[in-house]
A and B are shown apart, each in its own frame.
Chain A
């Protein structure tokens, strides 16, 4: 890939990574078609709500400390500002820092869609700078500004002449990609092109892309064994930390979908190695990942010693709980950065994955390779039925109804809600560190057991709630509404 940091815009995942959102089959077929280049994603002639890439982009940027996000669009686009404030304040409070970032809507109305509002936007940028004195101002576009052709790049250029802090255009026209994870790339692009500076010296830091740094303390503690200091991104990160990302030993992430663009960008632009292993979930994932970090940082002996010590504590306990998990059947619905990783962990724990849904699928990553989570499953001859759907609740419900699994796992709360209404116990894998390392893998196993052992709420609720779906639909094939392949 060639990351072009001189442009404020970047290509979508569809265009860069050949990503798709429509497929039904199994893992081996998905992989072999990806490898030989014959995989084409399908559209749907009927669909349910997807998600806007602006949510992924701006929640990432809004979590950075002391910045302003200006969401230039009608009021609905900035509607999640309140949630953003709550999350930002909570994760800041948890760490004991203060984050003064603000989220501004510009409340475009009908007149603005006809006559444009670039002049007003310039004044808004200046006013936001005056009011809050943020360290960086991100200015985002929306579907409405995109369609009427509002040129936010020029407005940003004009603003830059008048104020001293970086002003960065962020292109979030929701209609440009069916893959909301493109938003993660957009936020990384903004950081790479507008904030990160060339390295002056090497540091013993490791860039750690995550969501809310809930396992911050224990990971910092762990990395002390290897004389490394993690910089967690982007929640609570400071602009100064971001400026120095190019000076780190390596970049890693908790979710490949989330970390891919930044990792590759830093490697390409500044030679910071990007850790391209399976992710640190479960036993194999944690060990493979940590060894690679050890190798890159020149700390492999220390890593191996650490692994040995930790194994002796946790592996016996994990082996014990595996006996009780054996044979449980699971369906998953998550982003691809998690689906294929968590499938591997479930397999490792002795559970059976009967169907895995990925909210999208990247045929290859920026380096041209099939995503490592997928390669691992194939190399270990693990196969199961799989589909790709941007949430598409009706497909999830159809699958759950057919397979009646013991458990549904999702990283989206709206998705678990519907499984529970259908009587299927569900685990909402909310915290990105829920299955991290040995300790959390053990805790996760216990969570699964707690979830499947008492099903009183799910069963009683399902008896009383009438679901919206027709009987006809439950008798159809999952892929009935997929259209012919689109390129």
Chain B
């Protein structure tokens, strides 16, 4: 239902789909949409994600049918066919995915009949018939994985006991996605695992095709990927565990590693040894810089995954007091809201903060303004203004991020937690 959303975060479902596809090596999206949909959806996620955009094709180099009045009236499948053919001729990709904008969705172009023709000729062309108005960027992440499960992932020829799939860190819609994936992957490799991140180390369509061979899906997110996880289980017998949000810092990451160890029945000694090593690494540094940061009463305004990770870390490991957490993406299922609230209520060292679900910047600003006794706000570029009005310390640590350049910076895991503290200090 139409409603007032001041300064919305992220784009429509196309933005999410485009971001995910853009992070897979040698994959080419093809927009069957209006002339502006590709640029708008690129600008909304990749354009606000720490100034990094996908390398293989992005924005101006992405094929698009640029549907005009003629296509609206007479249908756009002919233009789509020649655009796909052109894309195959001009762009040397491993796979092509056809995305549908609102226009194609409303007029009801049958894109599957077109992609089928190309499939018959042996080209890897896949339809994603989910028009822009179907949802937001987050939904785009699930839509891509549903498409992969339905059309790309193959029946497992064998099972790999030590292979895991990592889900829940959304490329570009999470500005620290590559660094976070690298850190989590580094830790899992220390446990002797092989990790499908799908988006780092030039991982590609082949990793997706064979992801059914994994022993476990690890979902690092409080609510996303429920549907795809069920399909993975039903079709390929890959079970999933969900860690609610980013693990940040020694306590949180330990909890995460123990959960993985238990799910895969890993050798306790190995898991504990890794935890001890990493613990020592972090505290070896923390011990060298005590008292550089004063104690803070903080608010977080961020997507649920980031908000949970940062709140748990600063409350449980760094003695800060959580006062307010604003979850900024729309969350539709009550069970998901409850899971998020439970995480924020069961903090080991602190009293539970006030939790607010709000996507409209007007409301977000209002709750932040009303909270009187704050000395730190952690949020997105959108919270910069309210923070400066309140004259409290502010760091940009969540999507959208306009004013930082982020390559491989990570806040997740052990090493990421040190970076978060460094950033807090830089911004005093």
Contacts and interface: CB of A to CB of B under 8 A. Distances in A.
Interface of A: 45-55, 72-83, 85-86, 89, 102-113, 117, 120-121, 124, 127-128, 131, 142-144, 147-148, 174-178, 180, 390-391, 393-394, 412, 414-415, 418, 465, 468-470, 472-473, 481
B48 to A, nearest CB: 6
B43 A83 contact: yes
Nearest to B85: A46
Nearest to B86: A46
A110 B134 contact: yes
B375 to A, nearest CB: 24
B321 interface: no
B132 A74 contact: yes
A178 B70 CA distance: 11
B102 A80 contact: no
- Can you list the 4 inter-chain pairs with the closest CB atoms, starting with the nearest? A52-B36, A46-B86, A76-B12, A79-B44
Interface centre among B3, B11, B83 (most CB of A within 10 A): B3
B65 interface: yes
B157 interface: no
Given A74-B12, A472-B89, A106 B44 contact: no
A369 to B, nearest CB: 27
B227 interface: no
Contacts of B133: 74, 108-110, 112-113, 144
A79 B11 contact: yes
Given A48-B60, A79-B15, A86-B403, 13 more contacts: A48-B61, A49-B42, A50-B38, A52-B40, A79-B43, A80-B40, A86-B381, A102-B7, A113-B133, A176-B69, A414-B60, A415-B60, A418-B61
A89 B385 contact: yes
Contacts, number: 236
A106 B2 CA distance: 5
B354 interface: no
A77 B89 CA distance: 31
A285 B283 CA distance: 64
A486 B400 CA distance: 41
A105 B35 contact: no
Contacts of A142: 102
Contact of B68 (A83, A176, A470): A176
Interface in B385-425: 385, 400, 402-403
Contact of B103 (A55, A112, A143): A143
A139 to B, nearest CB: 12
Interface in B69-112: 69, 71-72, 79, 82-83, 85-87, 89-93, 101-103, 105-107
21 contacts: A46-B63, A46-B86, A52-B39, A74-B12, A75-B10, A76-B132, A79-B8, A80-B40, A83-B43, A102-B6, A106-B3, A110-B133, A110-B134, A124-B2, A128-B4, A147-B103, A178-B35, A390-B66, A468-B92, A473-B90, A481-B86
B312 interface: no
B132 to A, nearest CB: 5
Contact of A76 (B1, B4, B11, B68): B11
A412 B10 CA distance: 22
B392 to A, nearest CB: 18
A175 B34 contact: yes
Contacts of B169: none
Tell me which of A55, A108, A175 has the highest count of chain B C-beta atoms within 10 A of its own C-beta: A175
A53 B36 contact: yes
B12 A75 contact: yes
Nearest to B102: A144
Contacts of A393: 60-61
A82 B91 contact: no
Interface stretch (B51-59, B193-201, B266-274, B293-301): B51-59
B62 interface: yes
Contacts of B91: 468-470
A113 B44 CA distance: 22
B281 interface: no
A85 B7 contact: yes
Contacts of B15: 76, 79
A50 B61 CA distance: 10
B90 A46 contact: yes
Given A75-B5, A106-B3, A47 B66 contact: yes
B406 to A, nearest CB: 16
Contacts of B381: 82, 86
Q: Count chain B CB atoms within 10 A of each CB in A110, A127, A472 and give the residue with the most.
A: A110
Nearest to B65: A47
